[in-house]
A and B are shown apart, each in its own frame.
Chain A
Amino acid sequence: MQLLQLFSKSLSIDGSDVEANFNVGSILMQLDLPQLAMRYLKRSVRKDESSELPEVRSLFRSQFAKAYFNIALLADKDGDTQQAMTYYEKAFLREKSSNDPPSSCFVKAATNLAVCYEKLGFRSKSIEVCEVLQDKGIVVDTKLNNNLGVLHKREGRLEEAIGGFNRSLQAADSNFFATYNLGVTLAALKQQGRAIALFEAALGILEK
Protein backbone atom coordinates (compact mmCIF):
# COMPACT_ATOMS: atom_id res chain seq x y z
CA MET A 1 0.00 0.00 0.00
CA GLN A 2 2.89 2.35 0.84
CA LEU A 3 4.38 1.64 -2.57
CA LEU A 4 1.08 2.39 -4.24
CA GLN A 5 0.95 5.76 -2.46
CA LEU A 6 4.52 6.50 -3.47
CA PHE A 7 3.90 5.82 -7.15
CA SER A 8 0.59 7.68 -7.06
CA LYS A 9 2.50 10.69 -5.76
CA SER A 10 4.89 10.43 -8.75
CA LEU A 11 1.91 10.30 -11.05
CA SER A 12 0.43 13.44 -9.52
CA ILE A 13 3.62 15.20 -10.63
CA ASP A 14 3.90 13.52 -14.04
CA GLY A 15 0.83 11.53 -15.09
CA SER A 16 2.67 10.03 -18.06
CA ASP A 17 5.58 8.60 -16.04
CA VAL A 18 6.29 5.25 -17.66
CA GLU A 19 7.71 3.45 -14.62
CA ALA A 20 5.17 4.81 -12.11
CA ASN A 21 2.25 3.82 -14.35
CA PHE A 22 3.76 0.39 -14.92
CA ASN A 23 4.39 -0.16 -11.20
CA VAL A 24 0.91 0.99 -10.17
CA GLY A 25 -0.60 -1.27 -12.86
CA SER A 26 1.46 -4.25 -11.70
CA ILE A 27 0.54 -3.72 -8.03
CA LEU A 28 -3.16 -3.46 -8.96
CA MET A 29 -2.78 -6.71 -10.89
CA GLN A 30 -1.47 -8.39 -7.76
CA LEU A 31 -4.38 -6.93 -5.81
CA ASP A 32 -6.69 -8.57 -8.35
CA LEU A 33 -8.09 -5.31 -9.72
CA PRO A 34 -7.76 -6.09 -13.45
CA GLN A 35 -9.71 -3.21 -14.95
CA LEU A 36 -7.88 -0.59 -12.95
CA ALA A 37 -4.57 -2.35 -13.58
CA MET A 38 -5.26 -2.37 -17.33
CA ARG A 39 -5.85 1.40 -17.28
CA TYR A 40 -2.46 2.16 -15.71
CA LEU A 41 -0.58 -0.39 -17.80
CA LYS A 42 -2.03 1.10 -20.99
CA ARG A 43 -0.96 4.56 -19.79
CA SER A 44 2.56 3.21 -19.27
CA VAL A 45 2.90 2.27 -22.95
CA ARG A 46 1.47 5.49 -24.39
CA LYS A 47 4.94 6.89 -25.05
CA ASP A 48 5.89 3.74 -26.91
CA GLU A 49 2.89 4.09 -29.16
CA SER A 50 3.91 7.65 -30.04
CA SER A 51 6.26 7.39 -33.03
CA GLU A 52 7.64 10.90 -32.31
CA LEU A 53 9.76 9.68 -29.43
CA PRO A 54 12.12 6.96 -30.75
CA GLU A 55 14.69 7.55 -27.99
CA VAL A 56 12.06 6.93 -25.30
CA ARG A 57 11.04 3.74 -27.05
CA SER A 58 14.62 2.55 -27.00
CA LEU A 59 15.28 3.61 -23.38
CA PHE A 60 12.20 1.91 -21.97
CA ARG A 61 12.15 -1.04 -24.37
CA SER A 62 12.17 -3.77 -21.72
CA GLN A 63 9.73 -1.81 -19.51
CA PHE A 64 7.31 -1.50 -22.44
CA ALA A 65 7.70 -5.19 -23.22
CA LYS A 66 6.78 -6.09 -19.63
CA ALA A 67 3.79 -3.74 -19.67
CA TYR A 68 2.52 -5.19 -22.97
CA PHE A 69 2.98 -8.66 -21.51
CA ASN A 70 0.96 -7.78 -18.39
CA ILE A 71 -1.82 -6.20 -20.50
CA ALA A 72 -1.92 -9.38 -22.59
CA LEU A 73 -2.07 -11.55 -19.46
CA LEU A 74 -5.07 -9.56 -18.20
CA ALA A 75 -6.84 -9.87 -21.55
CA ASP A 76 -6.00 -13.58 -21.69
CA LYS A 77 -7.43 -14.10 -18.21
CA ASP A 78 -10.55 -12.25 -19.30
CA GLY A 79 -10.94 -14.64 -22.27
CA ASP A 80 -10.18 -11.98 -24.89
CA THR A 81 -7.73 -14.00 -27.01
CA GLN A 82 -7.70 -11.45 -29.84
CA GLN A 83 -6.60 -8.61 -27.57
CA ALA A 84 -4.18 -10.91 -25.75
CA MET A 85 -2.61 -11.85 -29.08
CA THR A 86 -2.19 -8.17 -30.05
CA TYR A 87 -0.35 -7.35 -26.83
CA TYR A 88 1.73 -10.54 -26.63
CA GLU A 89 2.77 -9.69 -30.19
CA LYS A 90 3.86 -6.20 -29.11
CA ALA A 91 5.84 -7.63 -26.17
CA PHE A 92 7.41 -10.24 -28.45
CA LEU A 93 8.36 -7.74 -31.16
CA ARG A 94 10.05 -5.38 -28.65
CA GLU A 95 12.71 -8.01 -27.98
CA LYS A 96 12.67 -10.12 -31.12
CA SER A 97 15.29 -8.09 -32.98
CA SER A 98 17.40 -7.38 -29.89
CA ASN A 99 20.84 -8.96 -29.60
CA ASP A 100 20.59 -9.08 -25.78
CA PRO A 101 19.96 -12.47 -24.15
CA PRO A 102 16.20 -13.13 -24.16
CA SER A 103 14.47 -12.14 -20.91
CA SER A 104 12.06 -14.46 -19.10
CA CYS A 105 9.25 -12.04 -20.03
CA PHE A 106 10.14 -12.49 -23.72
CA VAL A 107 10.07 -16.29 -23.44
CA LYS A 108 6.71 -16.21 -21.66
CA ALA A 109 5.25 -13.70 -24.11
CA ALA A 110 6.40 -15.77 -27.07
CA THR A 111 5.09 -19.01 -25.57
CA ASN A 112 1.68 -17.46 -24.86
CA LEU A 113 1.64 -15.73 -28.26
CA ALA A 114 2.14 -19.09 -29.94
CA VAL A 115 -0.84 -20.47 -27.99
CA CYS A 116 -3.02 -17.48 -28.99
CA TYR A 117 -2.05 -17.86 -32.67
CA GLU A 118 -2.98 -21.53 -32.51
CA LYS A 119 -6.30 -20.79 -30.78
CA LEU A 120 -7.13 -18.23 -33.46
CA GLY A 121 -6.21 -20.56 -36.31
CA PHE A 122 -2.78 -19.17 -37.28
CA ARG A 123 -0.81 -22.41 -36.91
CA SER A 124 2.11 -21.52 -39.18
CA LYS A 125 2.65 -18.25 -37.26
CA SER A 126 2.52 -20.23 -34.02
CA ILE A 127 5.26 -22.59 -35.20
CA GLU A 128 7.25 -19.60 -36.47
CA VAL A 129 7.24 -17.96 -33.01
CA CYS A 130 8.39 -21.18 -31.33
CA GLU A 131 11.17 -21.45 -33.88
CA VAL A 132 12.30 -17.86 -33.19
CA LEU A 133 12.75 -18.93 -29.56
CA GLN A 134 14.75 -21.95 -30.64
CA ASP A 135 16.92 -19.72 -32.85
CA LYS A 136 17.57 -17.55 -29.81
CA GLY A 137 18.84 -20.58 -27.94
CA ILE A 138 15.74 -21.21 -25.79
CA VAL A 139 15.87 -24.93 -26.36
CA VAL A 140 15.36 -26.16 -22.83
CA ASP A 141 12.05 -24.50 -22.02
CA THR A 142 9.56 -27.19 -21.07
CA LYS A 143 6.38 -25.34 -22.09
CA LEU A 144 7.82 -24.17 -25.39
CA ASN A 145 8.85 -27.66 -26.42
CA ASN A 146 5.57 -29.19 -25.31
CA ASN A 147 3.71 -26.58 -27.37
CA LEU A 148 5.92 -27.26 -30.37
CA GLY A 149 5.20 -30.96 -29.95
CA VAL A 150 1.45 -30.33 -29.90
CA LEU A 151 1.65 -28.14 -33.01
CA HIS A 152 3.69 -30.72 -34.93
CA LYS A 153 1.32 -33.47 -33.84
CA ARG A 154 -1.67 -31.50 -35.13
CA GLU A 155 0.18 -31.10 -38.41
CA GLY A 156 0.63 -34.89 -38.53
CA ARG A 157 4.43 -34.64 -38.09
CA LEU A 158 4.62 -37.29 -35.37
CA GLU A 159 8.41 -37.75 -35.28
CA GLU A 160 8.93 -34.00 -34.83
CA ALA A 161 6.18 -34.01 -32.20
CA ILE A 162 8.00 -36.75 -30.28
CA GLY A 163 11.19 -34.66 -30.46
CA GLY A 164 9.34 -31.69 -28.92
CA PHE A 165 7.82 -33.73 -26.09
CA ASN A 166 11.15 -35.41 -25.32
CA ARG A 167 12.94 -32.04 -25.17
CA SER A 168 10.17 -30.76 -22.91
CA LEU A 169 10.72 -33.71 -20.56
CA GLN A 170 14.47 -33.17 -20.63
CA ALA A 171 13.81 -29.68 -19.26
CA ALA A 172 11.31 -30.89 -16.63
CA ASP A 173 10.65 -34.60 -16.33
CA SER A 174 7.60 -33.98 -14.14
CA ASN A 175 5.73 -32.09 -16.86
CA PHE A 176 2.36 -33.86 -16.91
CA PHE A 177 1.28 -32.50 -20.28
CA ALA A 178 4.45 -33.50 -22.12
CA THR A 179 4.28 -36.98 -20.56
CA TYR A 180 0.62 -37.36 -21.51
CA ASN A 181 1.10 -35.98 -25.02
CA LEU A 182 4.08 -38.24 -25.66
CA GLY A 183 1.90 -41.16 -24.56
CA VAL A 184 -0.85 -40.17 -26.99
CA THR A 185 1.65 -39.80 -29.85
CA LEU A 186 3.32 -43.16 -29.19
CA ALA A 187 -0.09 -44.80 -28.93
CA ALA A 188 -0.88 -43.42 -32.39
CA LEU A 189 2.34 -45.06 -33.59
CA LYS A 190 1.20 -48.38 -32.09
CA GLN A 191 3.95 -48.35 -29.46
CA GLN A 192 1.54 -49.53 -26.78
CA GLY A 193 4.13 -50.66 -24.22
CA ARG A 194 5.90 -47.29 -24.11
CA ALA A 195 2.60 -45.42 -24.22
CA ILE A 196 1.26 -47.40 -21.24
CA ALA A 197 4.42 -46.60 -19.23
CA LEU A 198 3.95 -42.90 -20.01
CA PHE A 199 0.30 -42.80 -18.97
CA GLU A 200 1.22 -44.55 -15.73
CA ALA A 201 3.97 -41.98 -15.21
CA ALA A 202 1.49 -39.18 -15.96
CA LEU A 203 -0.88 -40.54 -13.30
CA GLY A 204 2.05 -40.65 -10.88
CA ILE A 205 2.80 -36.98 -11.56
CA LEU A 206 -0.83 -36.05 -10.83
CA GLU A 207 -0.78 -37.99 -7.57
CA LYS A 208 2.32 -36.17 -6.26
Chain B
Amino acid sequence: MYSVNCLLNLAVLQEQILDFEASQNSLRTALQLDPTNLRVRKLQERMTAITLALASGKLSLEQYKEMIESAETQKQNDGKL
Protein backbone atom coordinates (compact mmCIF):
# COMPACT_ATOMS: atom_id res chain seq x y z
CA MET B 1 0.00 0.00 0.00
CA TYR B 2 2.79 2.41 0.93
CA SER B 3 4.63 1.71 -2.32
CA VAL B 4 1.48 2.41 -4.34
CA ASN B 5 0.93 5.70 -2.48
CA CYS B 6 4.54 6.72 -3.15
CA LEU B 7 4.14 5.90 -6.84
CA LEU B 8 0.84 7.78 -7.07
CA ASN B 9 2.40 10.87 -5.53
CA LEU B 10 5.39 10.52 -7.84
CA ALA B 11 3.11 10.26 -10.88
CA VAL B 12 1.19 13.40 -9.92
CA LEU B 13 4.38 15.40 -9.29
CA GLN B 14 6.04 14.15 -12.46
CA GLU B 15 2.96 15.22 -14.40
CA GLN B 16 3.16 18.65 -12.77
CA ILE B 17 6.73 19.10 -14.01
CA LEU B 18 5.59 17.83 -17.43
CA ASP B 19 7.61 14.61 -17.27
CA PHE B 20 4.80 12.53 -18.78
CA GLU B 21 6.90 9.48 -19.56
CA ALA B 22 8.12 9.18 -15.97
CA SER B 23 4.58 9.71 -14.76
CA GLN B 24 3.26 6.91 -16.99
CA ASN B 25 6.05 4.63 -15.75
CA SER B 26 5.18 5.32 -12.12
CA LEU B 27 1.52 4.54 -12.81
CA ARG B 28 2.40 1.34 -14.65
CA THR B 29 4.50 0.14 -11.70
CA ALA B 30 1.71 1.09 -9.27
CA LEU B 31 -0.77 -0.88 -11.34
CA GLN B 32 1.50 -3.93 -11.34
CA LEU B 33 1.56 -3.77 -7.55
CA ASP B 34 -2.19 -3.17 -7.18
CA PRO B 35 -4.07 -3.99 -10.41
CA THR B 36 -7.49 -3.12 -8.96
CA ASN B 37 -6.56 0.32 -7.57
CA LEU B 38 -9.18 2.73 -8.92
CA ARG B 39 -7.18 5.88 -8.26
CA VAL B 40 -4.26 4.56 -10.28
CA ARG B 41 -6.56 3.47 -13.12
CA LYS B 42 -8.31 6.85 -13.28
CA LEU B 43 -5.02 8.73 -13.23
CA GLN B 44 -3.66 6.47 -15.96
CA GLU B 45 -6.73 7.06 -18.17
CA ARG B 46 -6.36 10.80 -17.64
CA MET B 47 -2.65 10.69 -18.43
CA THR B 48 -3.26 8.71 -21.61
CA ALA B 49 -5.90 11.22 -22.75
CA ILE B 50 -3.57 14.15 -22.06
CA THR B 51 -0.63 12.50 -23.83
CA LEU B 52 -2.79 11.75 -26.87
CA ALA B 53 -4.20 15.29 -26.96
CA LEU B 54 -0.70 16.74 -26.74
CA ALA B 55 0.66 14.39 -29.41
CA SER B 56 -2.17 15.14 -31.83
CA GLY B 57 -1.86 18.89 -31.28
CA LYS B 58 -5.41 19.20 -29.92
CA LEU B 59 -3.87 20.53 -26.74
CA SER B 60 -0.74 22.68 -26.58
CA LEU B 61 1.73 22.57 -23.71
CA GLU B 62 0.81 26.18 -22.85
CA GLN B 63 -2.89 25.31 -22.71
CA TYR B 64 -2.07 22.33 -20.55
CA LYS B 65 -0.03 24.48 -18.12
CA GLU B 66 -2.90 26.99 -17.95
CA MET B 67 -5.29 24.12 -17.29
CA ILE B 68 -3.21 22.93 -14.31
CA GLU B 69 -2.81 26.47 -12.95
CA SER B 70 -6.51 27.28 -13.18
CA ALA B 71 -7.32 23.96 -11.47
CA GLU B 72 -4.94 24.93 -8.66
CA THR B 73 -6.50 28.42 -8.34
CA GLN B 74 -9.94 26.85 -8.26
CA LYS B 75 -8.78 24.48 -5.52
CA GLN B 76 -7.40 27.36 -3.46
CA ASN B 77 -10.57 29.42 -3.93
CA ASP B 78 -12.67 26.47 -2.87
CA GLY B 79 -10.43 26.09 0.15
CA LYS B 80 -11.05 29.68 1.20
CA LEU B 81 -14.82 29.32 0.91
Given the interface pairs A192-B16, A196-B14, the reply to whether A203 lies near B3 with Cβ below 8 Å is yes
A60: interface (CB < 8 Å): no
* Interface residue tally on B, bucketed by range: 10 to 19
A200: interface (CB < 8 Å): yes
A-B contact pairs, 27 of them (CB 8 A): A176-B2, A180-B5, A180-B6, A183-B9, A184-B9, A187-B9, A187-B13, A192-B13, A192-B16, A192-B17, A193-B17, A195-B9, A195-B13, A196-B10, A196-B13, A196-B14, A196-B17, A199-B6, A199-B9, A199-B10, A199-B13, A200-B10, A202-B6, A203-B7, A206-B2, A206-B3, A206-B6
Smallest CB-CB separation from A203: which chain B residue?
B6
**Beyond A196-B14, A203-B3, A203-B7, 5 additional pairs, beta carbon < 8 A:** A187-B12, A187-B13, A192-B13, A195-B9, A206-B6
B79 to chain A, nearest CB (A): 11
Q: A residues near B, CB below 8 A?
A: 176, 180, 183-184, 187, 192-193, 195-196, 199-200, 202-203, 206
Closest 4 CB pairs of A and B: A199-B10, A192-B13, A199-B6, A203-B6
Report the Cα distance A74→B13, complex, angstroms.
41
Q: Is the interface of B mostly helix, strand, loop or mixed?
A: helix
Q: Which residues of A contact B7 (CB under 8 A)?
A: 199, 203
Q: Which residues of B contact A200 (CB under 8 A)?
A: 10
Q: Which residues of B contact A199 (CB under 8 A)?
A: 6-7, 9-10, 13
Q: Which residues 10-26 of B have a CB within 8 angstroms of A?
A: 10, 12-14, 16-17
Smallest CB-CB separation from B3: which chain A residue?
A206
Q: Which residues of A contact B9 (CB under 8 A)?
A: 183-184, 187, 195, 199
Report the Cα distance A176→B27, complex, angstroms.
20
Smallest CB-CB separation from A196: which chain B residue?
B13
Report the Cα distance A206→B5, complex, angstroms.
12
Smallest CB-CB separation from B26: which chain A residue?
A199
Report the Cα distance A192→B3, complex, angstroms.
18
A165 to chain B, nearest CB (A): 15
Q: Which residues of B contact A184 (CB under 8 A)?
A: 9
Which of B5, B13, B14, B16 counts the most chain A CB atoms within 10 A?
B13
Report the Cα distance A202→B9, complex, angstroms.
11
B64 to chain A, nearest CB (A): 15
A190 to chain B, nearest CB (A): 8
Q: Which residues of B contact A195 (CB under 8 A)?
A: 9, 13
Report the Cα distance A206→B17, complex, angstroms.
25
B32 to chain A, nearest CB (A): 13
Report the Cα distance A176→B2, complex, angstroms.
9
A174 to chain B, nearest CB (A): 14
